[in-house]
């Protein structure tokens, strides 16, 4: 199973459209969204081409391919317009023989860990900064960064999980970093 993992679209129709182009080009099986889909929140500037209604249309067009978890900027009212589930606090995935605990990052993160076993992976967005950090007993923390509002000197990007390979890419497809799970 090939997953394209993205977080923090924050209502940018421009970057959402580019992400969906990358999803098609990468020929991923699933688009995993780690929350903060439609709104920019009070701490962020408006992203390029802020148009939540357009983001709704773009994502609903591929709803059968999307797994999503709820971010801190997502609300129950958003579920009325998005035609795929968005209100789960976490999802469990598998890649490279490892269990992946996927969440947004505002509840579960390195400072407040979910119940992980040795070797499990914590995957979250929220910080807008890409990360690949080993911790604990052969555990790994992964973060795809942000699709539209990168922070910490990073660029707009996503994470591609293909078997046991994790690849961070810029929106547009250029590889930034790669590792084996």
Report the number of distinct structural domains present in the chain: 1
Question: Which one-letter DSSP state was computed for residue 47?
Answer: P
Which tens digit of pLDDT belongs to each residue from 63-108?
999 999 999 999 999 999 999 999 999 999 999 999 999 999 999 9
> Whole domain around residue 107: which residue ranges?
2-180
37 in helix, strand or coil? coil
Predicted local distance difference test score (pLDDT) of residue 44? 84
Strands of 157-162's sheet in order across: 66-68, 30-33, 2-6, 157-162, 165-170, 175-180
Quick check: 58 and 16 in contact, CB under 8 A? yes
Tokens of 122: 């914590």
- Strands (E) in 35-156, as ranges, are 66-68, 90-95, 98-103, 121-124, 130-135, 139-144
Q: What is the pTM of this model?
A: 0.97
Q: How confident is the model at residue 62 (pLDDT cuts 50, 70, 90)?
A: very high
Q: Kindly indicate the confidence band of residue 43, based on its pLDDT and cuts at 50, 70 and 90.
A: confident
Could you give the count of Cα atoms lying within 13 Å of 160 in the half-sphere of its Cβ?
23
CA distance 111 to 109: 5
CATH number of the domain enclosing 80: 3.60.21.10
């Amino acid at each position: 199973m090939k997953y394209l993992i993205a977080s923090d679209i924050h209502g940018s129709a421009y970057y959402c459209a580019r992400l969906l182009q990358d999803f098609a080009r990468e020929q991923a099986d699933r688009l995993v969204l780690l929350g903060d889909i439609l709104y920019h929140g009070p701490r962020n500037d408006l992203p390029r081409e802020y148009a939540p209604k357009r983001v709704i249309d773009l994502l609903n067009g591929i709803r059968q391919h999307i797994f999503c978890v709820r971010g801190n900027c997502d609300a129950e009212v958003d579920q009325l317009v998005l035609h795929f589930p968005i209100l789960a606090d976490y999802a469990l995935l598998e890649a490279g023989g490892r269990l992946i605990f996927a969440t947004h990052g505002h509840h579960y993160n390195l400072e407040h860990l979910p119940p992980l076993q040795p070797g499990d992976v914590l995957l979250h967005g929220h910080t807008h900064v890409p990360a690949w950090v080993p911790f604990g007993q052969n555990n790994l923390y992964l973060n795809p960064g942000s699709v539209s509002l990168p922070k910490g000197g990073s660029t707009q990007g996503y994470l591609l999980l293909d078997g046991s390979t994790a690849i961070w890419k810029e929106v547009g497809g250029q590889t930034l970093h790669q590792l084996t799970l």
